């Protein structure tokens, strides 16, 4: 192919019903369906240039070379796109996050969503949103949810083609705000990919999976009805169930640090006092505090006053992955 280039942007997302564990690891077919919100204002912007002059793929993230592990994952993903486009041409990948990496926001979701959209366009492929979600999922499970806009459900499905994410409500459906409290920017010892691989070693994982449809149904209903009290209960329950699995895996994964627990307690107290607020935590010590736009300033200043909180980022519901004119 001649030199061919495209640029795409995608936002990370925060899961309200979590993805934890795969049925089929290499295809990232999850053990359970999940539900999330894209984080508007935060994004990864990625340019992919297929160039016949290149002997190997070259990947740059935020002006620095990627770790060998991250670089290999990108090359494997480009291989999927090359297979679909029937080409062997290598690519230059330039990626930039407008949010701090290592801040506890899953940059692999926005990263693989933007990479998928840019690489497919540069390779001349015209895929549907569903096909893009299927493809992004194979790079990083949560990336499947960063393809569609707003509030998104990823149905676990039964095979490669029916495990994809779709929008259940547009970004303007509900004025939720995610106030992300950063308590540590240290790199975690075991990331999501390693965690998914040992999730089945926890005796609690079976119970978590068996109960997923109940939690997912409750969360979807509360979200569509904009019922914050019901939403808050199920979001916290789902996050804590995933962490119970993590802490009882072999080896055990403890992501919480003392400030994480202090914030959980504070948030529950604020809610008992009448504020619409709840928490959810991914594979790290930072904590996503979800509230309504009208209360975001108040919640942010309360979070900043807590010991151990280094910074607070705010995000409203965001759009889907998009191709930029290049």
Cβ nearer to ligand DP6, comparing 49 with 95? 95
Q: Which is nearer to ligand DP6, 108 or 184 (CB)?
A: 108
* 243, 285 contact by CB (below 8 A): no
Nearest approach, Cβ of residue 276 and ligand DP6 (Å): 23
Contacts of 215 (CB under 8 A, 6+ apart): 17, 234, 237, 238, 241
Q: What string of DSSP letters covers 221-287?
A: HHHHTT-HHHHHHHHHHHHHHHHHHHHTSSS------HHHHHHHHHHHHHHHTT--EEEE--SSS-E
Give me the residues paired with residue 294 across strands. Answer: none
Q: Shortest approach of ligand DP6 to residue 162 CB, angstroms?
A: 18
How many CB atoms are located within 10 Å of the residue 251 CB?
Answer: 10
CB of 277 to ligand DP6, least distance (A): 20
Q: How far is the CB of 274 from ligand DP6 (least distance, A)?
A: 29
Q: Which is nearer to ligand DP6, 30 or 171 (CB)?
A: 30
Round to whole Å and give the CA distance between 164 and 233.
26
How far is 102 from 97, CA to CA, in rounded Å?
11
Q: Please identify, using beta-carbon distances, which residue of 190 and 275 lies nearer to ligand DP6.
A: 190
If the CB atoms of residues 80 and 295 are measured against ligand DP6, the closer one turns out to be 80
Residues contributing to the site for ligand DP6 (CB under 6 A): 15, 18-19, 28, 34, 106, 108, 140-142, 192-193, 196, 282-283
Q: Based on CB atoms, which residue is closest to ligand DP6, 85 or 176?
A: 176
Q: Reduced to 3 states, what is the DSSP secondary structure of residue 167?
A: strand
Least Å distance, CB 249 to ligand DP6, is 13
Comparing CB distances to ligand DP6, the nearer of 24 and 326 is 24
Residue 33 beta carbon to ligand DP6: minimum distance, rounded to whole angstroms: 10
- State in angstroms the smallest separation of the CB of 283 from ligand DP6: 4
The bridge status of strand 311-315 relative to strand 176-182 is: antiparallel
What is the smallest separation between the CB atom of 298 and ligand DP6, expressed in angstroms?
A: 27
The residue (of 28 and 271) whose beta carbon lies closer to ligand DP6 is 28
Q: Which of 268, 265, 308, 271 is nearest to 286 (CA)?
A: 308
Beta strands in the chain (DSSP E): 4-10, 13-17, 22-24, 29-30, 34-38, 44-50, 58-61, 64-65, 91-97, 151-154, 165-169, 176-182, 277-280, 287-292, 311-315, 322-324
């Amino acid at each position: 192919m001649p030199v061919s280039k495209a640029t795409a942007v995608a936002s990370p997302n925060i899961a309200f019903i979590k993805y934890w564990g795969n049925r089929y690891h290499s295809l990232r077919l999850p053990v359970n369906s999940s539900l999330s919100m894209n984080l508007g204002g935060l994004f990864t912007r990625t340019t992919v240039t297929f160039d016949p002059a290149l002997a190997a793929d070259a990947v740059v993230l935020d002006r620095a070379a990627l770790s060998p592990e991250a670089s290999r994952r990108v090359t494997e993903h480009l291989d999927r796109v090359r297979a679909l486009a029937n080409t062997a041409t290598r690519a230059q990948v330039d990626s930039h996050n407008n949010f701090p990496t290592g801040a506890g926001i899953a940059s692999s979701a926005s990263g693989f969503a933007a990479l998928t959209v840019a690489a497919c366009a540069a390779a001349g492929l015209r895929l549907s949103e569903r096909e893009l979600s299927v493809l992004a999922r194979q790079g990083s499970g949560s990336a499947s949810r960063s393809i569609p806009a707003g509030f998104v459900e990823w149905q676990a499905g039964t095979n490669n083609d029916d495990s994809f994410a779709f929008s259940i409500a547009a970004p303007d459906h509900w004025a939720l705000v995610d106030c992300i409290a950063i308590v540590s920017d240290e790199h975690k010892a075991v990331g999501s990919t390693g965690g998914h691989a040992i999730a089945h070693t926890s005796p609690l994982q079976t119970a978590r999976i068996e109960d997923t449809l109940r939690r997912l149904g409750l969360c979807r209903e509360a979200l569509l009805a904009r019922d914050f009290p019901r939403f808050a209960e199920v979001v916290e329950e789902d996050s804590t169930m995933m962490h119970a699995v993590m802490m009882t895996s072999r080896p055990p994964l403890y992501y919480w640090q003392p400030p994480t627990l202090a914030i959980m307690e504070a948030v529950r107290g604020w809610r008992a006092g009448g504020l619409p607020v709840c928490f959810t935590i991914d594979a790290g010590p930072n904590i996503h505090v979800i509230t309504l736009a009208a209360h975001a300033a108040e919640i942010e200043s309360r979070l900043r006053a807590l010991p151990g909180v280094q910074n607070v980022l705010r995000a409203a519901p965001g759009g889907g992955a998009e191709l930029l004119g290049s």
